[in-house]
Structure 1
Amino acid sequence: MSVIGYCRVSTNDQTITNQQQQIAESGYQVTKWFTDNAVSGAVKASERQGFSDMLNYVREGDTLVCVAIDRLGRNTIDVLQTVELLQSKGVKVISLREGFDLSTPVGKAMLTMMAGLASLEKDLIAERRAAGIKRAKSEGVHCGRPRKATSEQVTQMINAGMSPREIMSQLQISKASFYRLKQGS
């Protein structure tokens, strides 16, 4: 019966030290740490090296502690499957931020609701982003990758007697972009 700590950070700019400190300050005497550095929560838990190693290590009666359920994943289904897999192995899952034991019936219900709310929030953000892009486009704002060249530039260069190769080189565009812009004029 060991206490296992799991920490994950999404970028190289972040460190797992704060998460390890939070777990230790909460009174857990961690026997073994498993970590994933610079791994997005969008990557399925089972596909992360540190998490996979932890799954192979844990035994019935162990307790897994993490600072928040979003360290396990951001996708509702993945988080629920991950917790169910751990529970099927007889592992108790504790999330500090949410303040509940995910292996109890109340903890599972809370996990389901919180994961659902996190998924809803992600969808709402995407909806607001799409509305913002639509509004910006209606106002004539270019969205997306910056344009390297316009059809007007290509037409002017052709009229100035430049060859397609010279135009592509000067504007730093591909052959496909050149012909697409040429047709747009």
Structure 2
Amino acid sequence: MKIGYIRVSTEEQNTARQEILLHELGVDEIYSDKASGKSTERPQLRKMMEYVRKGDTVIVESISRFARNTKDLLALVEQLTAKGVEFVSKKEAIDTTTPTGKFMLTVFAAVAELEREHILQRQREGIAIAKRQGKYTGRKQIPVPEGFEQTVARWRRGEITAVDAMKRLGMKPNTFYRRTNAAQGNK
């Protein structure tokens, strides 16, 4: 079977271009994630990796859609190879059934990782410039909910659990603990 894998980084991005290409290539099944490629913990990727079997071919539009760093890409391809599954990236014309294809996979993976690092570096530089110009002040502070101090005091006395306190305040764990630690540091 030909198995297609599609990935875009956000819910707002469109998968149509990748879908059209994979249908033109005659894929039998498509798995699609709307998540960052910096992690391999993507639901549809995991599902696809479990589904594929010997003789299948996984086809992607480009290696950057499959993985964002060399280590992850090579690990995923190694898992596929161990199952007897081939990997094809259309954009880079990579086919892991050949020694040249395996070599090119490694080279292109390194280039994709370098490109990602450059994007992040430019983003950090842009934020630093915007901060110096006073145009970037970071994320807006979440207001302290009403009853915060009383609820935290009850939690500290062991009258309620942290989960209960978070529910009452409508706060996520990281915000709750950051705020409670900051409040304790101010005393």
Same fold (TM over 0.5): yes
Match in the other structure for 1:77: 71
Match in the other structure for 1:13: 12
Q: RMSD over aligned Cα, in angstroms? A: 2.8
Match in the other structure for 1:168: none
Distance 2:45 2:118 in 1: 29
Query: 117, 120, 128: which one pairs with 2:111?
Result: 117
Closer, same or farther in 2 for the Cα pair 1:121/1:29, shift >3 Å?
A: closer
Larger radius of gyration between Structure 1 and Structure 2: 1
Unaligned runs of 5+ in 1: 149-173, 181-185
Unaligned runs of 5+ in 2: 142-178
Q: How many residues align?
A: 147
Query: 38, 41, 46: which one pairs with 1:42?
Result: 38
Distance 1:136 1:116 in 2: 30
Determine whether 1:87 maps to 2:81. Answer: yes
* CA displacement at 1:107 relative to structure 2: 1.3
Asked if structure 2 preserves the Cα contact closer than 8 Å seen for 1:87 and 1:103, the reply is: no
Query: 5, 30, 33: which one pairs with 1:33?
Result: 30
Closer, same or farther in 2 for the Cα pair 1:109/1:134, shift >3 Å?
A: same
Could you list the structure 1 runs, at least 4 aligned residues long, displaced by more than 3 angstroms after superposition: 124-137, 139-144
Closer, same or farther in 2 for the Cα pair 1:142/1:4, shift >3 Å?
A: closer
* CA displacement at 1:90 relative to structure 2: 0.5
Q: Percent identity?
A: 39
Q: TM-score, normalised by structure 2?
A: 0.66
Q: TM-score, normalised by structure 1?
A: 0.66
Deviations 1:139-158 (A, max 9, x none): 6657542788xxxxxxxxxx
Distance 1:135 1:34 in 2: 40
Closer, same or farther in 2 for the Cα pair 1:127/1:39, shift >3 Å?
A: closer
Question: Secondary structure of 2:5's partner?
Answer: strand
Asked if structure 2 preserves the Cα contact closer than 8 Å seen for 1:65 and 1:93, the reply is: yes
Asked if structure 2 preserves the Cα contact closer than 8 Å seen for 1:95 and 1:102, the reply is: no
Match in the other structure for 2:138: 145
